[in-house]
Structure 1
Amino acid sequence: MSRTRQPEAGEPEPDGYAMVAAVAAMAVLALLSLEMMDWARMAIARTGGELARARAVAAADAGAALAIHRVIDGDATAAAIADGRPWTTEFDGARLQIRLVYERGKVPINAIDEPTLVRLLEQQGLEGSALAQARDSLLDWIDDDDVARPDGAEAADYAAAGIAPRNGPLRSTSELARIRGIGPQLAARIAPIITVSPGARSFDPARADPRAMAVMLPAGEAVSSLIQSREQAGARTALAFSETELLDRGPFTVMVDAEIQGAFAHREAEVEVVSGTARLWRIRSWN
């Protein structure tokens, strides 16, 4: 005759084993559920962030298009503030800050001559050997030969840093930071008043930054008087009472910063009006 073994003292009943196993399984499932919930929350947050980012980019694009068409359609207000002063607006729930900058009101760095370059560098506080190195190195960078000026630099001087000189026009203002004697800090100070736009090789003081005017138009009473009158009127370049002619036959850059739901986007586009009568225009860059 078989006998059922009786549990010893302190040993759980057979059904107790099943209960322990069930509780353990429930604990594992609960832990997995919590992990799944955390993953789902992160996925939702990530998706929400991506959606907000996409909306910010779309709003920045819309802001750029809005600014361009305000100029093309002959909005005198837009033309009058083409000096970098921002205006704000909204688009589809996004806050936009828009700036227009007339490129012909800047120093055309790719067409610069030595005396003008010296004035630009002196304005930034350079002198002596530091000025000579920056001057000659920049001129060496944009010329088309491999012969270094006395204080300049060509390919051999950049080889150790893995940099290849352009030997041609600068393509962006950020490129200045790679040139010997200039570097990132000086490049950042110069960038706002120079242009690399092919369509801005002639300088127009009508909407120029006073710093660019001081470089392009050597000291004179007319320049000083104009700068002073602008400062008194609270404008860095174009005045409210100055001519508000359209930005005909000259490139301008539109810069847009968009913010929505904590997401940010930036858009820059260079546009050139090629016909003042028919209002024909082309986009040179869209970044």
Structure 2
Amino acid sequence: MSGRAQNRAAIGDDRGFIVIVVLWMLAALATLALIYLSYVTNTAVTVAVNTDRLQADALMNAGLELTAYRLTAQSEAARPTSGTFNARVGAGRIAVTFRSEAARIDLNAAPKAMLIGLMTTGLGVSAADAPDYADRILAWRSSTEPGQDNPEDSYYRTLGASYLPRHAPFQNADELWLVRGIPPNVIERMLPFVTVFSNMRTVNVLDAAPQVVAALPGMTPETLQRLLRDRADPGVDPQSLVGLAGSASATIEGAKAYRVTVAAEAPSHRQSSAEIVILLLESGDEPYRVLSWHNAFDGSAGKPL
């Protein structure tokens, strides 16, 4: 082969190699572009979700602050025990419901008769079983002397439980799940009507659910229906409801703790909600303290509030 031919062959080989290199570089750039596009897309989705959550948190806090202001701006005597309001906060909206914890039965303060009444009259538990279930609750919260042979402790050991009763006040209503001897379906039905935050032996008959009013000692179906009818009449003297209930466990007073439900709609129309229990403070730098906070964020676009 002549020198000229050899040069041409060498040049051809070089050009082929360059083409292959270029193709590999283009493929690599295309892969990088896809990776970058995926990163940008995922980042955009993450930012959008985080933005919605930040907006939801801001709206929840705004609803809570507005509620605390409405309550603390009035004297304790004039303070409402329940209420609702709607508000626009920036481009978002909130709907707020607040109710004193006196509308619920306090697990740490309620007498046995009221616990039995809630289970039997309010929730349909058999009259034969309810007293035993109430005793389980009382035993959980009742103190005991150190070293004392407590029958309730023996009962838990017999059941093979890995723990013993607290022998102290319930820290949270969900602690009911730890109380042995009460069927789970009974506990599940009790939870919407009980609290650990009112510190009251009485319940507010103005705000309490019918199941709670029915739990008052001595309450009859006829009296219950009349009381529910009368309290819906704005012309009725609220104090008369206490007399109608005929029980030392009835009151129209509120607790210092309030349960606040905030439903929020962000500018993107995503909706979320939170149930918060606060304690109003009479002194100090802060007007209230958060006792419990449960968020619900579904991330879906729903109907505007």
Shorter-chain TM-score range = 0.7 to 0.9
Aligned to 1:92: 90
Q: 2:278 aligns with which of 264, 267, 270?
A: 270
Q: Secondary structure at the match of 1:95?
A: strand
- After superposing the two structures, state which structure 1 stretch, 119-128 or 60-69, moved more: 119-128
Q: Distance in 1 between matches of 2:164 and 2:198?
A: 22
Mapped contact 1:173–1:187 kept (Cα < 8 A): no
Q: Cα distance, 1:173 vs. partner?
A: 1.5
Aligned to 1:147: 150
One-letter amino acid matched to 1:257:
A
Map 1:1-287 → 2, pairs under 5 A? 4=6, 13-74=13-74, 79=80, 81-82=82-83, 87-122=85-120, 123-127=122-126, 130-145=129-144, 147-148=150-151, 154-157=155-158, 159-160=160-161, 162-182=162-182, 184-220=184-220, 222-230=223-231, 233=232, 240-241=234-235, 250-260=256-266, 261=268, 262=270, 264-272=272-280, 274=282, 282-283=288-289, 285=291, 287=293
Q: Distance in 1 between matches of 2:287 and 2:234?
A: 25
The TM-score, its normalising length taken from structure 2, stands at: 0.72
- After superposing the two structures, state which structure 1 stretch, 204-213 or 221-230, moved more: 221-230
Mapped contact 2:261–2:273 kept (Cα < 8 A): no
Mapped contact 2:101–2:254 kept (Cα < 8 A): no
Unpaired runs of at least 5, structure 1: 234-238
The TM-score, its normalising length taken from structure 1, stands at: 0.76
Per-residue CA deviations over 1:11-48 (Å, capped at 9, x if unaligned) read x7531221122012111111111111111221122122
Mapped contact 2:81–2:254 kept (Cα < 8 A): no
Q: Distance in 1 between matches of 2:224 and 2:282?
A: 29
One-letter amino acid matched to 2:106:
P
Q: Cα distance, 1:224 vs. partner?
A: 3.3
- Aligned pairs, number: 267
Q: Distance in 2 between matches of 1:167 and 1:80?
A: 32
Indicate the RMSD between aligned Cα atoms, in angstroms: 3.6
Q: Cα distance, 1:228 vs. partner?
A: 3.0
One-letter amino acid matched to 1:125:
G
Unpaired runs of at least 5, structure 2: 240-251, 294-305
Q: Distance in 2 between matches of 1:54 and 1:87?
A: 22
Per-residue CA deviations over 1:163-199 (Å, capped at 9, x if unaligned) read 4422111121111122223355433321222221153
Give percent identity, aligned residues only.
20
